[in-house]
Chain A
């Protein structure tokens, strides 16, 4: 078996995903990066978009908004992954404000998100600066959901 890396997606609400994958594509503030096993340790800011884990050529897409990504190399395998991985493992931790698997972005939810985005945009226009940040993050969240759901609608992905 070829080398794999451990992908973890964590939000304040819960641990969204913990899985071994072959490759992961991450949208950072400086542009998209692809991380393969034994990647150099790196810390970067996360841009809203989609994090895609790739296992056996299958894509596992997640819509994420805001946060950080940390890639590190764990020299010792953890007790859980001790079998066959004695030499250590690359771990990719994604700390996102919000993360959702694309399949959870059902059409219904997306239309709702769309409507909400529009509504928020209108509200934001009338609002004073005080509430703006809140609206901004809400708006970004809604827009990202729409964008990512649209992007993956016609593509194949694994649940």
Chain B
């Protein structure tokens, strides 16, 4: 009997685990839904700001804003040429909590690969999320800022600090390049760890980012005739100032978008891994039940044979 008791206890504990994973799956699913709808909602704004930038871009050539051209030190007043002395900054977006499959490890792996390619450059990190923060500290990277208390449901004001820090550091020429490592939300089943250059803004890449959003709206906005009219825009106020604020907004918007994407990815990969765990627990319960029944049957057979043996010896 001792054998069956043991198995019974194990079945019970696996059942409990299954309940927990099921609950986590459901929580992740509802969080994912919210994150996805937020991601979609912000795409409209991203599209329009992109369109505005293209409208302005007719005049962009005469604008020399540090966001659009490689940052220069005050001493390097020659146009063009990258700032050789500046460092590289990587913004790493990870989750605060674990139990979400390969979500964190994938983006971290990608970052470490990137680090290898930047071997002889000085690299600083900004980390968003505890997991990436911990890993980068272990690896011994220089973390200049870490934002680990971001809520699950982020709003734009939550990342003001991040984007302000980033843009001001970039503007004074501390960094020559800024990358963001994040996870792109392709669908509920596929997420892709990615590294994107955030600054300096090159028009092609910016376009890529917004094309990557591939909402049907983007196609609608691709109206060749309205683009042709772009050069006839009237600008009110100082165009340089306008472009500067627009560029800053776009940077902030991109970080926001990437955070949203990462968030949606995190939740969906957590949902998936919890679903897998739940399925595995179900399988285990089935196996254990089978073993339990066999043991029980063996017990009964043994008892019967003992009884009949006893009866045979009595008569």
Chain A residues proximal to chain B, CB less than 8 Å: 8, 10-15, 28-30, 33, 40-45, 67-68, 70, 72-76, 78, 93, 95, 97, 131, 133-134, 137-138
9 cross-chain pairs, A with B, having the tightest CB-CB distances, nearest first:
A44-B236, A42-B234, A14-B41, A12-B45, A41-B233, A75-B225, A12-B156, A29-B237, A10-B45
Interface string of B192-223 (1 = CB under 8 A from A): 00000000000000000000000000001001
Chain B residues proximal to chain A, CB less than 8 Å: 38, 41-42, 44-45, 48-49, 51-52, 55-56, 155-157, 160-161, 164, 220, 223, 225-226, 229, 232-237, 241-242, 245-246, 249, 253, 256
Contact of B253 among A12, A45, A78 (CB under 8 A): A12
Do most interface residues of chain B lie in helix, strand or loop, or is the interface mixed?
Answer: helix
Q: Is the CB of A12 within 8 A of B229?
A: no
Q: Is the CB of A76 within 8 A of B223?
A: yes
Q: Is the CB of A68 within 8 A of B242?
A: yes
The total number of A-B Cβ pairs within 8 Å is 98
Q: Roughly how many angstroms separate A74 CA and B161 CA in the complex, as a whole number?
A: 38
CB distance from B230 to the nearest CB of A (A): 8
Q: Is the CB of B237 within 8 A of A15?
A: no
Contacts of B44 in A (CB 8 A): 10, 14-15
Contact of B220 among A10, A43, A78, A133 (CB under 8 A): A78
Known A72-B229, A73-B229; judge A30-B236 contact (CB<8 A): yes
Q: Provide 11 A-B residue pairs closer than 8 Å at the C-beta atoms, listed in order of the A residue.
A: A13-B156, A42-B233, A43-B233, A44-B237, A72-B55, A78-B220, A95-B48, A95-B52, A134-B164, A137-B157, A137-B160
Contacts of A97 in B (CB 8 A): 156, 249
Q: Roughly how many angstroms separate A13 CA and B256 CA in the complex, as a whole number?
A: 10
CB distance from B267 to the nearest CB of A (A): 19
Contacts of A30 in B (CB 8 A): 236-237
Nearest to A80 among chain B residues (CB) is: B220
Contacts of A95 in B (CB 8 A): 45, 48-49, 52, 249
Q: Is the CB of A134 within 8 A of B253?
A: no
Contacts of A78 in B (CB 8 A): 220
CB distance from A19 to the nearest CB of B (A): 15
Contacts of B246 in A (CB 8 A): 68
